[in-house]
Structure 1
Amino acid sequence: MSDGADALGPDELRAWMAFLAASHLIDHEVERQLKRDGGLSHPEFEVLVGLSLAEGHRLRMSDLARKVMVSKSRLTYQVTQLERAGLVRRTGCEDDRRSVWAELTDAGAERLARARPGHRRVVRETLIEVLTPEELAVLGDALGRVTDRLRAPADRFP
């Protein structure tokens, strides 16, 4: 195996490995907290948050998929699980028969309210409190640029 011109340099490799380790460990802590406090997976939580922030607490499934950055098939699976639990309901779209709305139910809003305080605590403990305000600003800017680059193709999450 060759270390060609595209090999990562020591600082690049260190940054990449630190990013991977931190993101995996933070995700693990978030997942544990969400299961414990709300009986939710991280993807399910993101769907509920996306719906809670939407006007009328509902979005077209295609718009929700883009918002939570998953494929339509993965979103369909998550919404099916949430619907079975009574946390989300799907309804047909009046003005477009091809579209389906996903809507947050009262039970979904209650479950989200139960999980959110612990989620905020875990985010603070695992990331926010570890970094200085300056580091948080740099991290937000840097990861924002990464997100913009990866989100650029309109069909990334069709």
Structure 2
Amino acid sequence: MRDHDAVRLTEDERSVIRALRPAMAALMRVFDEDLEKSQRLSHAEYIAMMFLSEAPGRTMRLSDLAELCQQSPSAVGRTVKRLEAEGLVGRQQSVQDARSFNAVLSEAGLARLEEAAPVHEASVRRHFFDQLEGVDLGKLAVAFQRIAQNP
């Protein structure tokens, strides 16, 4: 018997798998729409600023930011360029590696992030957490962490 024939998915498991990608796409779309509508920020911009706000000195190598945002370096570079044009993020050459650049969240960027946070949190609550009534969030978080660590 081949490995892929060994264990068949149950109907519930198949339903979860079928629903996963459309659900994630829908969440990203509504998070983006909510932020764009009231804050003129994309979800990608918000997430990049969020990670920068949590970094020491609000500074991070662009390649590290791309990894955290789960985007290509070029996509994060475009996001940082848009934020830089608005004075929300600065870009500086890394002192550790002259070939790489850092993104730095400015004071204006931090203020903008703090202004957008309630909108994002309300969107996350409405579109995600309110749909998880009865689900053990602690177990769900652990499961998501295991999935992310063991691709």
Shorter chain as denominator, the TM-score bin is 0.7 to 0.9
Q: Which segment is superposed worse, 122-131 or 53-62?
A: 122-131
Q: Which segment is superposed worse, 92-101 or 116-125?
A: 92-101
Structure 2 partner of 1:59: 60
Structure 2 partner of 1:155: none
The TM-score with structure 2 as length reference comes to 0.85
Query: How big is each residue's C-alpha offset from its partner over 1:44-70, in whole Å with a ceiling of 9 and x where there is no partner?
Result: 111110101111111111221222222
- The offset of 1:114, in angstroms, is 1.5
Distance 1:17 1:93, change over 3 A: same
Output the amino acid matched with 1:37.
S
Matches within 5 A, 1:1-158: 5=5, 9-132=10-133, 134-150=135-151
Partner Cα separation in structure 2 for residue 24 and residue 97 of structure 1: 37
The TM-score with structure 1 as length reference comes to 0.81
Secondary structure of 1:59's counterpart equals strand
Which ranges of structure 2 fall in alignment gaps of 5 or more residues?
none
Distance 1:48 1:11, change over 3 A: same
Partner Cα separation in structure 2 for residue 74 and residue 9 of structure 1: 38
Report % sequence identity: 32
- The offset of 1:134, in angstroms, is 4.7
Cα-Cα RMSD: 2.1
Which ranges of structure 1 fall in alignment gaps of 5 or more residues?
151-158
Runs of 4 or more off by more than 3 Å in structure 1?
4-9
The number of equivalent residue pairs is 147
Q: Which segment is superposed worse, 120-129 or 53-62?
A: 120-129
Report which structure shows greater RCO (CA 8 Å, sep ≥6). Answer: 1
